[in-house]
Amino acid sequence: MNTTMEQTLLQKAKDARAFSQAKYSHFKVGAALLTDANEIITGCNVESSSYSLTICAERVALTKALSEGKTKFKAIAIAAKDGEFCPPCGACRQLLFDYAPDLEIILTNGNQQQHYTIKELLPHAFEDSQLG
């Protein structure tokens, strides 16, 4: 991905964090998912008083995109607290892998970036081919 697109994606993830519904944890997360057509779909975490119903920013972005018929993805940027990188949780890793096994993952701590692939973050993944 070129630098301009990466900067745009990072900024969208940071902007999406402003909409975070995190009244229980106060941990605000924003995500920006890049489609193969270079569209950007954002998400933020949405928490519930029944804590386990909370949805992470990454899964909000992914399900928003899928529900709009966007099914091919190149990258996702994730922004949380300034000064800290926020790697995706295990549940998000599985869902991201299911829909985008070659996804690039860009974490930002506000001014520095870390780059991963979903395969690096979820080695030996369970995958749909195993369902027969």
Which residues are the active-site residues? Answer: 58
The verdict on 45 binding ligand THU (CB under 6 A) reads yes
Q: x-or-dash pattern for ligand THU, window 54-73, by CB under 6 A?
A: x-xxx---------------
- For 20-29, the CB contacts below 8 A with 24+ separation are 20/44, 20/45, 20/46, 20/57, 21/45, 21/46, 21/47, 22/47, 23/47, 24/49, 24/51, 24/54, 27/80, 27/81, 28/80, 28/81, 29/56, 29/57, 29/58, 29/78, 29/79, 29/80, 29/86
Can you tell me which of 47, 62, 103, 108 binds ligand THU, judged by CB under 6 A?
Answer: 47
The verdict on 88 binding ligand THU (CB under 6 A) reads yes
The verdict on 114 binding ligand THU (CB under 6 A) reads no
- Type of residue at 119: K
The region of 2-10, 86-94, 97-105, 106-114 touching ligand THU under the rule CB under 6 A is 86-94
Residues lying near ligand THU in the complex (CB under 6 A) are found at: 22, 25, 27, 29, 45, 47, 54, 56-58, 86, 88-89, 92
